[in-house]
Amino acid sequence: MSDPGFMIPLNQDDYDFKAHTIPNRNICSPADPQAQGNAGWWTNQNIQLTVGGIATSTATVGQQHVIQVGVQGLPAQDGDTPTVVQNVQAWVCYPNTVAGRADASLVVPSMQPPNKFASFTDMTENAPMVFGGGDYQDTGGVGFKWLSLSSWTPIAEDFLDQSMREGHCCIIANAAGFADAEFDKSSNTWGGEQVGVVIANNNQLNNTINVCSSLYQGQRNIMIVNAPVGGMIKTGLTFLAGAPTHVTPTRMEITVTPINQHGQINPALLNILSSGRYAGLQLKPASSPPKSLRLVQHKHQWRGWLAKIIHEAEEILEELIGLDEHPFGGGHRLKLHVPPHGLQPLRVEIEVDPTEPLGTVHAVEITQTNANGARGGITLGVVVLP
């Protein structure tokens, strides 16, 4: 690719690394140097859910939400050329640990009609342009732009715990446009080098989305839950693990481990906690891991769409992760053997120390590792509140 045009960067490190200069990008593999160390590729800081222009981690039934996607211009091999961004699309999915791929089965019911996803389209001469070579998220808006998509209003069936009127969601974004762009006034169209692809309907997600390797796709899968002082999170966080795109049985490992924040709140969590309902609170990182972390099977009685997509594991093995392997407190592991298109509903339960003060923030990683080494996951923030 002579001119990559732009990217949906994961974060500052992803942009600085200039991953577009290496053709075989694979940020889902921890063995790949482009995986950005311990940063989860699912914590994309340039995809956000907003209400009234304020970022939030929780969606509410009946309330209008807007997804925003940030695009960053990239320099071409022959210099700085303009890129026009014509299409940006986003899908809200059930919380899941699927590694880098998407499938229509994961899309929430309110977006299930084939083309009811959130989108931004501008084919006119005034379509947004970004230029490469600038600083990451430059304030002048020359190299970076936030684009707001069409609104999304969730329904109760969009959440895994359907007795609730609000819940968490995973967001996948896709963008396309022209690099080295020029507008032809005679034909009233843009030309240049096409970058990215436009997805016409949800049935194309399986063959088109590959967040692991595409510069023009990203996923944001960051969840926040509240822990009562001195108590266990009774409901925990429910999510789906598995391989909906696999046509053969497969094995995988699901782990839940605490993250050592080294005296500062995890950046992916801080990005969310600095706005919305948590803004202004006196927050501080946990100095020690939770008392316990546990993965359990979710005893669901779901109907409707969820009942159709769940294909539970044929075999589940359970074990604790040893302290020697994870010095910040260990965790829990489940090994799954799932059938073709298998999806296993799971729940993570966390118990915090009863002496922890209000505002303590724990960071937890829920990770799925497939048999081929590909990783997917969820970053979970646990905030101690009254």
Query: In this predicted model, what pLDDT tens digit does every residue of 76-110 receive, in sequence order?
Result: 766 678 899 999 999 999 999 998 888 999 999 99
- The residues of the chain that CATH labels 2.60.40.10 are 223-385
- Decide: 281 and 360 in contact? Cβ < 8 Å: no
- Decide: 267 and 254 in contact? Cβ < 8 Å: no
At 38 the pLDDT is 54
Per-residue confidence at 367, pLDDT binned at 50, 70, 90?
very high
What residue has token string 């140097």? 33
Going by their DSSP bridges, the two strands 292-297 and 343-351 should be labelled as antiparallel
Rounded CA separation 42/365 (Å): 11
Residue type, 194: Q
Kindly tell me if the per-residue pLDDT of 3 is higher than 90: no
**Count of Cβ atoms closer than 10 Å to residue 219 Cβ:** 30
Pair of tokens at residue 181: 């762009």
At 272 the pLDDT is 85
Tell me the CA end-to-end span of the chain in Å, nearest whole number. 53
Residue type, 281: L
Which range has the worst mean pLDDT, 7-21, 180-194, 282-296? 7-21
Rounded CA separation 238/310 (Å): 13
Share of the chain above pLDDT 90, in %: 55
Q: How many CA atoms lie within 13 A of 309 on its CB side?
A: 24
- Decide: 118 and 150 in contact? Cβ < 8 Å: yes
Considering only CA atoms, give the Rg of the chain.
Answer: 21
- Decide: 202 and 209 in contact? Cβ < 8 Å: no
Which has the higher per-residue pLDDT, 28 or 338? 338
Taking 3-state DSSP, the helix, strand and coil percentages for the chain, each rounded to the nearest 5, stand at 10, 40, 45
Q: What is the pLDDT of residues 228-255, one digit of tens each?
A: 877 676 657 899 999 998 999 999 999 9
Residues 54-61, mean pLDDT to the nearest whole number: 87
At 173 the pLDDT is 97
At 333 the pLDDT is 95
Residues 289-302, mean pLDDT to the nearest whole number: 88
Distances (CA, A) of 111 to 71, 84, 114, 183, 304: 23, 27, 8, 33, 15
At 149 the pLDDT is 98
Per-residue confidence at 220, pLDDT binned at 50, 70, 90?
very high
- Decide: 143 and 131 in contact? Cβ < 8 Å: yes
DSSP helix/strand/coil, 147: strand
Which has the higher per-residue pLDDT, 55 or 31? 55
Rounded CA separation 144/8 (Å): 10
Rounded CA separation 300/309 (Å): 13
Kindly tell me if the per-residue pLDDT of 68 is higher than 60: yes
**Count of Cβ atoms closer than 10 Å to residue 164 Cβ:** 13
Which range has the worst mean pLDDT, 29-38, 90-99, 123-132? 29-38
Per-residue confidence at 21, pLDDT binned at 50, 70, 90?
low
DSSP helix/strand/coil, 385: strand
**Count of Cβ atoms closer than 10 Å to residue 281 Cβ:** 14
137-23-172-201 Cα dihedral, nearest 10 degrees: 130
Pick the CATH number of 223-385 from 1.20.810.10, 3.40.50.1000, 3.40.50.150, 2.60.40.10: 2.60.40.10
Rounded CA separation 279/273 (Å): 6
What residue has token string 């799954």? 336
110-115-121-123 Cα dihedral, nearest 10 degrees: -170
Chain mean pLDDT for the chain: 88
User: Which H or E run includes 264?
Assistant: none
Residue 274 makes CB contacts below 8 A (sequence gap 6+) with none
- Decide: 153 and 78 in contact? Cβ < 8 Å: no
Going by their DSSP bridges, the two strands 222-228 and 375-385 should be labelled as parallel
